[in-house]
Structure 1
Amino acid sequence: MLSIVVIIYILLIQQPYQTYQLETIQVTLASTVELPCSIGQNIEPTNPAKIIWIRDDRADIVSLDSVITVRDRRLSILTMDSMDREERILRITNVEEQDQGLYRCVRGDITLNEILLDILIPPRIISHSPEHMRKTIREGHNARFSCTASGRPTPVIVWHVNGLSRPAIVTTITGKNESILILRNVSRFDSGRVDCSASNTLSTVNRQFLLHVKYKPTVTVPFHLSYFRLYDSVTITCRACSLPSTTLFDFFRPKQVAPIINDVKDKFDEFINQTCRQLTITLYLGDSSLFGAYVCRARNSIGISHADFVIKELVQSTKYVKYITESRPSTSLSSSSSIVTTSLTKIKSAEDDDASKRHAEYSYKTSNTIKTEVIARKNQAYQLSTSLVLILVLFIISQC
């Protein structure tokens, strides 16, 4: 039993002396951090060794007791000695990214403290494509953007198109922390901002690209069919939107190369915004040949488009507009028409008088018939009542 106790005692004596636990300290760039190291005076009082700070990843002796041994003015040792404790605090001001690593405080062959210094770094976008932050592409093609970000913790990259999360293909290259956005089959409505955002626990940074989508003109007219009278003045508007701007913009007749010039009273061309123009013309319909189909045509470097519309002649009922297609009647015809009209009027009046007489006779006969029937019914009732009285008188006499 005694031998076992002796063996355990020897093993304890040979066991390395440890009074520390691995500690991690996180700090941000440009801040100040203090790494503590202390030892009690009553522990190994006969050990004359000094307290030393060592940076393991570089194998640098940072300090010897209270003296800094490297050329770095940001480093200093805070010495605090008392009756029962010695402290050598390593202080680092204006922390830089290169300060990250493992620091050990030792005394002789004994490690007193071990600290992992973790430097938190805000996200940074270190590269991007396109470099000039602008991209121009034709409608229907694919647009490619990329962002590479650094930071600690590793930033997460998110894409937005005009403030929205548009369905797209996003590829992340982990080793470089590069994110690639591919917009397939872009349309003119994708024109605008494409934002790349990199975020970690500290902050968020952005890069904003401008996307320009080129497309051929889109031509619109307010009405595709309109009715007007001959000799009217008609105002027609046409709007064309395109990128790049429209170079050809005018009104044409179908299958005609030259724009309409004749019978145009007024013409006004204006820009509505950066991509849209509006053309307005006033056309005098002085000839029936001006009724028919028209074309508003616009062209830019991408392509050509048009919108059709039709102007039709407005014709009222023939009872009121015979003067449009026939000549004015002669005087003799007018007189004849008056005579015929007068005769017809007289005949109609005579017919009306005859009908009135027949109606009066019918009413008189009907009235007499009704009166006769009423008198007959009264007589029958009187005779019946007289008979009843006579029968009653005879019955009374017979009883007496």
Structure 2
Amino acid sequence: MIIILIIFLSLIQFSSTDQILRANIGQDVTFSCFFENESQIDQLSFMHQTTGDILSVGLELFLDESLTTNHMKLIRLSSNRLDLKIFQVNQNDSGLYTCMFNDEKLSSYLLEIFIPPRFISFFPLEASVSYPEGSSINLSCHAYAFPSVNITWIYRNKDKQLKTIHNGEDIYISSLESTDSGSYECIASNGYHATISRSFYVTVQYPPRVKIDKFIDFNIRPIQIKCEICSIPLSRIEWFRNGINIINEQYFIIKTNAIIVDDKNCLSSILIIHDSPHEKYGRYECQAENFLGHYSDHIDYHSKIIPHPKSGNEQFALLILLNNTNEISNSSLSLYQLFNTYILLIIINLLFFL
């Protein structure tokens, strides 16, 4: 048994005399066998050494009848040449073929079937997926081809700017950031066939980022408080004054529009405060919420309290204080000026209580 195995393995060893034939799936391939004289043809045989199958002896094929004319055929071209032709080769036809005269090898062919790339698995299955910020993600593309394929990953952001980020079947991101949103494309190529690709669009979801513009001139009417909200998905926005929800009414108007901030889809909400019999002083809060959380920002609108002097002495002290304050704000501070201002404040407080 061992001797038979050794003989068999010796038959299938590739040698330098083997002719290499390469073909794509679906092409036709011909193996030619040359011999010395016509009387030898009955002792000729074609073998598929890789599978151990004897394909023919003499001019007779040993195949299933359905394959004899559709897949393989013996063609005698001359008195000393016999061809074995395989029509529309497939992956199972690859391997070593020999033409034998009794035990003598007359010719041998190593048939390599080139298989164009095709995906055998990929993840995720959907073309578009969403993940919360901070979560991990694994993208994978597995492809088969002969020769084997190389997998390259290309990332494209919202501006269609692209860069190569990985070579290999799998890509892993341990903690997603909002800037990771974009298209991830895996490209499979083997240098012989057309490349194939698979794209995944990843959307990174995050809770609202809320920011109120604090540089507001409350002397300009109507007063406008601007709030900028960025989030995925978009948030529900509400305004509050001193903790009480504000709705559109006579003195309050809320306008919300879509804007782009740092390449992100955001919202701009503007609270417009119209003149009313009573000033709408208080704390104004812009609050946004989506399923990942709710956040807010606020600004305080207060009246400017200016003391009203009761006597001439108070008027004189207040005038000195205001003059000194202006001098301090328009020049470099000194310990002497700070001491004088501190004394004047004490004098004014004493005058108010007299």
TM-score (norm 2): 0.69
Find the aligned partners of 2:19 and 2:249 in 1 and give their Cα distance: 91
Residue 23 of structure 1 and its aligned partner are, at CA, apart by: 1.5
Alignment of 1:244-323 (within 5 A): 244-247=233-236, 249-253=237-241, 256-259=243-246, 264-272=251-259, 275-286=265-276, 289-291=279-281, 293-309=283-299
Find the aligned partners of 1:314 and 1:119 in 2 and give their Cα distance: 87
Tell me which residue corresponds to 1:39.
35
Once the two structures are superposed, residues 174-194 of structure 1 have per-residue CA deviations (whole angstroms, 9 ceiling, x without a partner) of xxxxx2211122112212222
Find the aligned partners of 1:40 and 1:216 in 2 and give their Cα distance: 84
Cα 1:46–1:33 shift into 2, 3 Å: closer
Tell me which residue corresponds to 2:17.
21
Describe the SS at the equivalent of 2:230.
strand
CA RMSD of aligned residues (A): 3.1
The correspondence for 2:201, drawn from 210, 213, 234, is 210
Gaps of 5+ in 1: 1-19, 173-178, 319-324, 327-400
Find the aligned partners of 1:297 and 1:98 in 2 and give their Cα distance: 66
User: More helix per residue: 1 or 2?
Assistant: 1
Describe the SS at the equivalent of 1:227.
coil
TM-score (norm 1): 0.62
Amino acid at match of 1:298: A
Tell me which residue corresponds to 1:388.
none
Tell me which residue corresponds to 1:351.
none
Describe the SS at the equivalent of 2:92.
helix
Alignment of 1:64-75 (within 5 A): 64-71=57-64, 72=67, 73-75=70-72
Residue 312 of structure 1 and its aligned partner are, at CA, apart by: 7.2
Verify the 8 A CA contact 1:225 1:310 in the aligned structure 2: no
Gaps of 5+ in 2: 1-15, 157-161, 310-354
Verify the 8 A CA contact 2:248 2:254 in the aligned structure 1: no
Verify the 8 A CA contact 1:62 1:68 in the aligned structure 2: yes
Residue 29 of structure 1 and its aligned partner are, at CA, apart by: 0.9
Tell me which residue corresponds to 2:56.
63
Matched, 1:79 2:76: yes
Find the aligned partners of 2:21 and 2:117 in 1 and give their Cα distance: 20
Find the aligned partners of 1:190 and 1:250 in 2 and give their Cα distance: 29
Cα 1:284–1:207 shift into 2, 3 Å: same
Tell me which residue corresponds to 1:93.
87
Find the aligned partners of 1:314 and 1:206 in 2 and give their Cα distance: 65
Residue 288 of structure 1 and its aligned partner are, at CA, apart by: 7.0
What is the percentage of aligned positions where both structures have the same residue? 23
Find the aligned partners of 2:174 and 2:277 in 1 and give their Cα distance: 52
Residue 285 of structure 1 and its aligned partner are, at CA, apart by: 3.9
Higher CA-based Rg = 1
Tell me which residue corresponds to 1:238.
227
Find the aligned partners of 1:285 and 1:313 in 2 and give their Cα distance: 14
Amino acid at match of 2:251: V
Matched, 1:196 2:190: no
Describe the SS at the equivalent of 2:140.
strand
Find the aligned partners of 1:46 and 1:211 in 2 and give their Cα distance: 71
Residue 142 of structure 1 and its aligned partner are, at CA, apart by: 1.3
Find the aligned partners of 1:301 and 1:220 in 2 and give their Cα distance: 19
Verify the 8 A CA contact 1:227 1:313 in the aligned structure 2: no
Verify the 8 A CA contact 2:216 2:225 in the aligned structure 1: no
Tell me which residue corresponds to 2:342.
none
Verify the 8 A CA contact 1:191 1:211 in the aligned structure 2: yes
